[in-house]
Structure 1
Amino acid sequence: MTPLVTTRPKDSLCDRQQVLAWLTENVPAPRLQHILRVETMAAELALHHGLDVDRAAWAGLLHDLAKYFPPERLLSMAREAGLPITEVDAADPHLLHADVSALVARQQFGVTDEQVLAAIANHTLGQAGMDALSCVVFLADSLEPGRGQTVELEELRKVAHQNLQEAVWRVCDRTLLWLIDQHRLIHPRMILTRNWAMQVAPAKPKKSEKKGTTKV
């Protein structure tokens, strides 16, 4: 499906073709395909939820600008911009690529729309209290079709069309379980994102309250 995007977003000094040309030079072809799928899914989710489709698609297109920056460059740009750097970030600078991608979007492509920049910055770890546009890009990054067609992923995609915040905490749970299984560091920001999303999403019955279960 062709992404639902405008040729030149209202707040930008460049157009989509210029971004695509830059991406072609700076990310591998498989990653570019992922980016295009995120752009498309973000636009589709935005349309479904009554959000600004152009903003969602633009954030999706720009979300991985710094994906392949070396660790030293990520840390340097983050420090220069005054971004908070946790011990987890210092140990795994790749976790900064979302925030740094927002910096590149502003500096390289003249993006000034704060909602778009926030959606780019929040696409990996999320952010407690993030708006619906950020939720859309966060979910599109995790659930675009290239991530797989498992029963679990298909269910998460359905949830993403029903309630954004519920889908966010469910995606966080899935990611956290994978990180634990792989003995990887967990960024506190994702835990805060998960807890926030769970608190604001519609209440669901606890497992022990479901029919046929027994509370121990």
Structure 2
Amino acid sequence: MHEKVLAWLAENVPVSRVNHILRVEQMAVDLAVHYKVDHHKAAMAGLMHDLAKYFKPQKLLQMAHKEGLEVDEVMEANPHLLHADVSAIVARDTFGVEDKEVLQAIANHTLGRPGMSLLCSIVFLADSLEPGRGDTSELQALRQLSRQDINQAVWKNCDYTLKFLLESSCLVHPRVVFTRNWFLQKWKAKQPVVQQTA
């Protein structure tokens, strides 16, 4: 399967993107081992997360509509946001992936989703934090955090993305905000309550 996917990628995405995909696969496996999640599933989702990355906007919209996916006005304006959902369709239809959790991890790797599984969170973080993304102090801190507290890492990663989108005057998809808020609340709920002294 691995060789088959790599051969398909070699024909459909540039070499630089294949290298990114392999780094995401590796980081997803490392995090999966760290959190005792099935690393085979993490590897599969990491390897297939960007299958539709270079599909033309029209093809992304067409496949999303055919599948009955919700396509809102932000996605209509920026069809590239659909590449994660469409990559899951390609994984299922071209490579016969039936594992729902793997398909969800592929579909949620860009925008996240409130309540997403640990595997989804791992692939979501691996995509943003793999070594090729850069070596700023902010990214280093997020990488460290991803191995300490995954819920905190997800919402802080959303903050990082939102900051970038706002500074670049890009459209922000509401799901990034919903994901951020859900993981922030989950993290806050686990924090010890500090007793106020009079």
> What corresponds to 1:74 in structure 2?
60
SS for the counterpart of 1:129 is: coil
Deviation, 1:149, is 1.2
Residue 56 in structure 1 maps to residue 36 in structure 2: no
Which residues of structure 2 form unaligned runs of 5+? none
Deviation, 1:204, is 6.2
Number of residue equivalences: 192
Q: 1:176 aligns with which of 132, 139, 162?
A: 162
Deviation, 1:201, is 1.6
Aligned partners of 1:55 and 1:152: how far apart in 2? 28
Deviation, 1:150, is 1.2
TM-score (norm: length of structure 2): 0.95
Residue-by-residue CA offset, 1:35-66 (whole Å, 9 max, x unaligned): 00000000000000110000001100000000
Residue 119 in structure 1 maps to residue 97 in structure 2: no
Task: Please give the residue correspondences for 1:135-174 in structure 2 after superposition, counting only pairs within 5 Å.
Answer: 135-174=121-160
Deviation, 1:82, is 0.2
Deviation, 1:22, is 0.1
1 or 2, which has the higher helix percentage? 2
Deviation, 1:17, is 0.2
Deviation, 1:168, is 0.5
Which one-letter code corresponds to 1:42 in the other structure?
A: A
Which residues of structure 1 form unaligned runs of 5+? 1-14, 210-216
Aligned partners of 2:29 and 2:51: how far apart in 1? 18
Task: Give the CA RMSD over aligned residues.
Answer: 1.3
Which one-letter code corresponds to 1:62 in the other structure?
A: M
Aligned partners of 2:42 and 2:154: how far apart in 1? 16
Task: Please give the residue correspondences for 1:1-216 in structure 2 after superposition, counting only pairs within 5 Å.
Answer: 15-202=1-188
> What corresponds to 1:3 in structure 2?
none
Deviation, 1:84, is 0.2
TM-score (norm: length of structure 1): 0.87
Deviation, 1:153, is 0.6
Aligned partners of 1:57 and 1:21: how far apart in 2? 16
Which one-letter code corresponds to 2:3 in the other structure?
A: Q
Percent identity between the two aligned chains: 57
In the TM superposition, structure 1's runs of 4+ consecutive aligned residues that sit over 4 Å from their partners are 202-205
SS for the counterpart of 2:147 is: helix
> What corresponds to 1:214 in structure 2?
none
